[in-house]
C-alpha cells in the first residue's frame, strides 16, 4: 500500500540531492502546527529586537560622548558572558526543563532591557552600568540558547524545513531591524529602541510559555542522581565521541578567527571611506538577502549527505573577503556578498539540522552548548586581531588571505570522512514511528 503523503523526488541534475515538491493547499505536513507558529513568532520577533539593539546602543552611547571603544566594550561584555556560560546553560537545560529556562531567560532580558531603556530616558547613562546590564543579558542568552536545539525537533517533524523557515525569517528581520532602529532613533530616541527590544523579549517569553511540548525523559524522571559536574563531563564526552561534530567545530574555529571575525570590521574600513555609508548599507542588505535565499534553498534542496552539500556550498563564502580585498566595484561586491550569504545560510541550515537530528534529546542541549561555545568564542578573537593584522599586513592582504583560508576550510571539511559521509536521517534521534 503506497502512502498518500508527498514524497521527495530525485533531481537528476543534483546528485545526492532531493527536491521537496510543493504541497497541495489543505494538505500541509505538520510544519505549521500551533507549536511551530508560536516558536517561529518567538524567534522572529526576538531577532528583530536583537538586530535593532546594536544601532540603538551605538547611537545612544555616541550621543552621550562615548566613543567606538565604549561601544565595543559593551558588546564584548555581552559576548564574553554568553560564550563563557553557554556550556553551563546546556547542562542546566538537560538537568531540568529547557522550556522553563528559556522563559526565565527571556523575562530576565525583558527586565534588563527595560532598565537600560530607563537609564537612557532618564539621561543617566554610565558606561559601567550599561556594561553590567549587557553582561547580565549575555548570561540570560547563554541560558536561553541551548534550549533552541532541543525545541526545534519537538515543535516540527520536518526539522530541516523548520530550520530553513526560521533562518529565512531571521534573515529578513536582520535586514529590517537596523532600518527600523534608525528610524526610531531619528524620530524618537535610543531609549525608545531599547524599550522596543524589551517588548520583543516579552513576546518571545509569552510564545514559549504557550508551547505545548511532548515531554522528554529527563523532564519526567524526577531529580537526576548525577551531579552537575558529572553532567558537564558527560556532555563533553558525548561531544568528543562524535567525530563529525568536533572536527567541524575545530575547523570552524579557524574559520571564525581568520574569516568571519575580520571580515566585518575590515569591510567597513574599506568600503565606508571609499564609497560612503549608502554603499555599506547596500552591501549589508545584499548579505541579508543572500542569507534568506540560502535558507530557502536549504528548505527546498535536501542532500542525503547534508554536511557534504553544505561544505560544497560554503566555497561561495570565499567571495566575500576576496571581492572587498580586490577592491571590486560596489555592484560586483554586492553580488559576491549575496552569494556568500546564501552559502553561509545553506551550510548553517544543514549543520543545525544534522545536530538536531543526530543527537538524542536527553543530551542535545549540552551538545549544542558545546558547539555554540566553540564557534562563538573565536569570533571576538578574530575581531580583536583584525586591527593589528591589518596594521601589520594591510587590510587588503588580510581579506585576501581570509578568502584563501575559506577555500581551505571547505576542502578540509570535505576531506574528513566523518563529515563528508554523514547521512541525513529522517527524524530526530531517539524518535520512532
Question: pLDDT, tens digit, for every residue of 74-106?
Answer: 877 887 888 888 888 888 887 778 889 999 999
Q: How confident is the model at residue 406 (pLDDT cuts 50, 70, 90)?
A: very high
Distance CA 105, CA 261 (A): 27
At residue 300, the pLDDT reads 84
Q: In a 3-state reduction of DSSP, which class is residue 221?
A: coil
Distance CA 268, CA 274 (A): 10
CATH code, 375: 1.20.1250.20
Confirm whether 256 is domain-assigned: yes
- Residue 328, sorted as left (phi over 0), alpha (psi -120 to 50) or beta, turns out to be beta
Instruction: Report whether 363 contacts 94 (CB < 8 A).
Output: yes
Instruction: Report whether 414 contacts 308 (CB < 8 A).
Output: yes
Q: How confident is the model at residue 185 (pLDDT cuts 50, 70, 90)?
A: confident
Q: How confident is the model at residue 224 (pLDDT cuts 50, 70, 90)?
A: low
pLDDT winner (highest mean) among 129-138, 267-276, 350-359: 129-138
Q: Say which residue, 278 or 339, is predicted with more confidence.
A: 339
At residue 107, the pLDDT reads 96
Mark whether 122 and 182 lie in a shared domain: yes
Instruction: Report whether 190 contacts 63 (CB < 8 A).
Output: yes
At residue 14, the pLDDT reads 40
Mark whether 233 and 325 lie in a shared domain: yes
Q: How confident is the model at residue 32 (pLDDT cuts 50, 70, 90)?
A: confident
At residue 428, the pLDDT reads 57
Mark whether 143 and 272 lie in a shared domain: no
Rounded to a whole number of angstroms, the CA Rg of the chain reads 22
Last residue of a domain, one of 216, 240, 260: 216
Domain region containing 105: 32-216
- 15 burial (CB, 10 Å; 0-12 / 13-18 / 19+) is exposed
Q: In a 3-state reduction of DSSP, which class is residue 19?
A: strand
Four-point Cα dihedral 291, 49, 119, 76, nearest 10: -30
The phi and psi torsions of 428 (rounded to 5 degrees) equal -55, 150
Lowest-confidence region among 35-44, 155-164, 289-298, 413-422: 155-164
Distance CA 34, CA 167 (A): 19
pLDDT over 60 (residue 430): no
pLDDT over 60 (residue 29): no
Lowest-confidence region among 195-209, 216-230, 234-248, 355-369: 216-230
Mark whether 208 and 232 lie in a shared domain: no
At residue 231, the pLDDT reads 79
Q: Which pLDDT tens digit goes with each residue over 371-390?
A: 887 777 787 778 778 778 88
Q: Please tell me the total count of domains within the chain.
A: 2
Return the H-helix or E-strand segment holding 363: helix 361-376
The Cα-based distances of 233 to 1, 82, 90, 131, 229 in angstroms read 48, 20, 12, 31, 6
Confirm whether 3 is domain-assigned: no
Confirm whether 257 is domain-assigned: yes
3-state helix, strand, coil in the chain (%, to 5): 80, 0, 20
Mark whether 173 and 319 lie in a shared domain: no
The pTM assigned to this predicted structure is: 0.72
Last residue of a domain, one of 194, 216, 238: 216
Four-point Cα dihedral 381, 384, 386, 387, nearest 10: -160
The Cα-based distances of 352 to 179, 343, 349 in angstroms read 28, 14, 5
Lowest-confidence region among 23-32, 40-49, 173-182: 23-32
Last residue of a domain, one of 216, 248, 272: 216
Distance CA 47, CA 49 (A): 5
Mark whether 208 and 240 lie in a shared domain: no
At residue 86, the pLDDT reads 86
Mark whether 433 and 373 lie in a shared domain: yes
At residue 311, the pLDDT reads 95
Q: Which pLDDT tens digit goes with each residue over 316-333?
A: 999 999 999 999 999 999
Mark whether 195 and 235 lie in a shared domain: no
49-76: average pLDDT: 76
Q: What is the mean pLDDT of the chain?
A: 82
Amino acid at each position: 500500500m503506497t502512502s498518500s503523503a508527498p514524497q521527495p523526488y530525485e533531481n537528476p541534475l543534483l546528485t545526492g540531492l532531493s527536491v521537496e515538491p510543493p504541497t497541495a493547499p489543505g494538505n500541509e505536513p505538520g510544519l505549521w502546527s500551533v507549536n511551530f507558529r508560536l516558536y517561529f513568532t518567538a524567534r522572529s520577533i526576538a531577532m528583530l529586537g536583537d538586530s535593532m539593539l546594536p544601532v540603538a546602543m551605538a547611537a545612544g552611547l555616541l550621543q552621550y560622548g562615548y566613543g567606538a571603544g565604549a561601544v565595543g566594550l559593551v558588546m564584548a561584555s555581552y559576548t564574553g558572558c554568553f560564550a563563557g556560560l553557554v556550556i553551563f546553560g546546556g547542562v542546566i537545560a538537560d538537568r531540568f526543563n529547557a522550556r522553563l529556562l528559556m522563559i526565565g531567560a527571556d523575562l530576565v532580558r525583558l527586565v534588563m532591557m527595560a532598565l537600560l531603556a530607563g537609564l537612557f530616558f532618564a539621561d543617566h547613562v554610565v558606561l559601567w552600568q550599561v556594561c553590567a546590564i549587557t553582561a547580565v543579558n549575555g548570561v540570560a542568552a547563554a541560558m536561553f540558547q541551548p534550549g533552541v536545539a532541543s525545541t526545534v525537533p519537538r515543535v516540527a517533524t520536518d526539522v530541516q524545513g523548520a530550520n530553513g523557515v526560521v533562518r529565512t525569517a531571521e534573515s529578513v528581520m536582520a535586514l529590517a531591524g537596523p532600518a527600523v532602529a534608525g528610524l526610531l532613533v531619528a524620530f524618537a530616541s535610543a531609549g525608545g529602541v531599547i524599550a522596543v527590544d524589551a517588548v520583543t523579549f516579552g513576546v518571545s517569553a509569552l510564545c514559549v510559555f504557550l508551547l505545548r511540548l511532548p515531554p522528554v525523559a529527563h523532564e519526567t524522571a524526577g531529580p537526576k542522581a548525577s551531579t552537575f559536574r558529572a553532567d558537564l563531563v558527560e556532555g563533553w564526552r558525548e561531544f568528543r565521541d562524535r567525530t563529525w561534530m568536533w572536527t567541524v567545530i575545530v575547523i570552524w574555529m579557524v574559520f571564525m578567527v581568520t574569516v568571519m571575525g575580520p571580515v566585518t570590521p575590515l569591510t567597513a574600513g574599506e568600503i565606508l571611506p571609499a564609497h560612503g555609508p549608502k554603499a555599506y548599507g547596500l552591501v549589508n542588505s545584499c548579505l541579508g538577502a543572500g542569507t534568506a535565499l540560502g535558507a530557502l534553498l536549504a528548505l527546498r534542496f535536501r542532500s542525503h549527505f547534508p554536511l557534504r552539500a553544505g561544505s560544497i556550498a560554503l566555497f561561495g563564502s570565499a567571495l566575500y573577503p576576496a571581492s572587498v580585498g580586490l577592491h571590486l566595484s560596489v555592484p560586483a561586491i554586492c553580488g559576491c556578498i549575496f552569494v556568500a550569504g546564501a552559502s553561509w545560510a545553506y551550510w548553517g541550515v544543514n549543520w543545525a539540522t544534522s545536530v538536531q537530528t543526530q543527537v538524542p534529546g536527553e543530551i542535545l542541549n549540552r551538545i549544542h552548548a558545546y558547539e555554540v561555545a566553540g564557534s562563538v568564542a573565536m569570533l571576538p578573537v578574530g575581531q580583536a586581531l583584525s586591527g593589528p593584522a591589518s596594521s601589520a599586513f594591510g587590510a587588503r592582504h588580510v581579506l585576501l588571505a581570509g578568502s584563501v583560508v575559506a577555500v581551505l576550510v571547505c576542502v578540509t571539511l570535505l576531506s574528513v570522512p566523518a563529515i563528508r559521509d554523514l547521512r541525513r536521517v529522517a527524524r530526530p534521534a531517539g524518535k520512532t514511528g
